[in-house]
Amino acid sequence: MQTLSENRCFGGTQGVYSHAATTTNCDMTFGLFLPEEAQDGPVPILWYLSGLTCTHENAMTKAGAQQWAAEQGIALCFPDTSPRGEDVADDEAYDLGKGAGFYVNATQDPWARHFQMWDYVAEELPALLAENFAIDMDRQAITGHSMGGHGALTLAMSLPGRFRSVSAFSPICNPTGADWGRKQLTAYLGDDETTWARHDASLLMAETGFDGPVLVDTGTSDQFLDLLKPETLAAAAAKRRQQIQFRMQPGYDHSYFFVSSFMEDHVAFHAEALYA
């Protein structure tokens, strides 16, 4: 692992690191904020998964999460959204290939060699953090924005007992039924739609739900509402009687102005679960 930068931040340290990842067969970069409390022992961690076109840097610099994480004594991890490198497959469209990993393990060419983002986020990166930093891996929570909200919800519901809480900002809720999803799932996983279901938050909510608190915020002026399909997740949660806070925020769009406006709420929500 290589340290690319470390900066003092709200009494803690905001670092950026790279490493040769075996899951994605390329070098991966991630951001990690450690609060001051990490100097004295392991701290709980909140994962933040970013959306389409993003890298580790977007939320790290735009979400304003470090201030609230420092107040709560929580680490923040900002993984990248896809593999990177000259030999990594890509597409001319912004919503496929680099910056658009969709947090799945690709099975189709040319994506399968590098696009193993599920295993990277679920297995390899947590193991790396546990080995190298003062993080209490028994206290994990997860959140994300847009494509990252989709990833956060699907990981949380598919890995029972891993995360104490899950939240999402403007998540892609029903990728099997929307253009933000069907295109990518076909490319990465193939035409057999039965393999897509484990990556659809609304279908997972209906089938298994989440054993813990859930918070979802979406703006009523989000320009991508028809692609996000928040109503499908709300309906599945209501039918299942899932413990959930589902909020449509008046006038907010899909931007990081929206994310940063409600970041304090989300960090406090996770802190309550992490310190319960």
Please tell me which residue in 82, 222, 266, 270 is annotated as part of the active site: 222
Q: Strands 75-79 and 12-21, how do they pair? A: unpaired
**Single-letter code of the amino acid located at 139:** R
The reply to whether 18 belongs to the active site is no
The reply to whether 146 belongs to the active site is yes
Please tell me which residue in 56, 80, 114, 146 is annotated as part of the active site: 146
The secondary structure of 23-83 as a DSSP string is TTTEEEEEEEEE-GGGGTS-EEEEEEE--TT--THHHHHHS-HHHHHHHHT-EEEEE-SS-
How many whole angstroms separate alpha carbon 236 and alpha carbon 184?
A: 23
Burial class for 154, CB neighbours closer than 10 Å (0-12, 13-18, 19+): buried
- Residue 178 contacts residue 133 (beta carbons within 8 Å): no
The reply to whether 56 belongs to the active site is no
Please tell me which residue in 56, 150, 199, 254 is annotated as part of the active site: 254
E strand residue ranges, the chain = 2-9, 12-21, 26-34, 43-49, 75-79, 135-144, 166-169, 214-219, 244-249
Query: Which residues participate in catalysis according to the annotation?
Result: 146, 222, 254
